[in-house]
Amino acid sequence: MASNTTTSHDTEATDAHATDAAATETHASTAADGGGHSDVFPPFDPASFGSQLLWLALSFAALYILMSKVALPRIGEILEVRRDRIEGDLAEAERLRQKTDQAIEAYETDLANAKQKAHTIAEETREDIRKDLEAKRVGVEADLAKKMATAESRIQSTKTEALGHVEEIASETAHAMVTNLLGRTAQKATKDAVAKVVKG
C-alpha cells in the first residue's frame, strides 16, 4: 500500500512538472507571437530569411521596372537633348569662328588694298607736284632769261648810245675847262684834240 502511494506521488510530480514546462513554452510562444520583446533582431532572424529574400526580389523587380520604363528613358531623353544642344552650340561656334576668320581676312585684304592705293596716290601726287614745280621752274627760268636778254639789250643800247656821246661830252668838258683856264680858245681846236685823244 505504501508502494502504491509512492508511485502515485511520483506520477503526480511528473505531471505537475510537465504542466509547468508546457505553460512556460506556451507563455514564451505567446510572448513571441503577441509582439513581446525577442532577443534576435528580426532581419537577422533565420526564420524570416525566406520572406526577406522574396520581398527583396519583388522590390528589386519593381525598382528595375520603374527605372527601365520611367527613369532611364527620361534620363536618356535629357542626355539626348543636352547632347543635341551641345552639338548645336559647337556648330554655331564653328560657324561664327569661320565667319570671324572670313571677316578678318576681308579686313586685311581691304587694308592691304587701301595701303597700296594710298601709296599709289601718294606717288602720283608726288610726281604731279614734281612735274608742276619743274614746269614752273622752266617757266621762271625762261622768263628770267627773257628779262635778262631784254635788260642786256637795253644796257648794250644805253652803252652804245653813251659811247656815241662820249666824244661830244668830252669835247664840251675840255672846251669848258680850257676856257676857264685860258679865257678864250678855239672850239674847233679843242674838239680836234679830244677826238685825237679818244681815238688814241
Query: pLDDT tens for residues 55-100?
Result: 999 999 999 998 888 888 888 899 999 999 999 999 999 999 999 9
The answer to whether residue 193 sits within a structural domain is no
The answer to whether residue 129 sits within a structural domain is yes
Amino acid letter, 114: A
Please give the residue range of the domain that contains residue 123: 69-165
The answer to whether residue 41 sits within a structural domain is no
pLDDT mean values, one per 10 residues, the chain (200 residues): 46 52 47 51 77 91 89 89 93 94 94 94 93 91 90 86 70 70 61 61
The answer to whether residue 98 sits within a structural domain is yes
Classify residue 183 by its DSSP letter.
Answer: S
- Count of the separate structural domains present in the chain: 1
Alpha carbons 24 and 27: distance in angstroms, whole number = 5
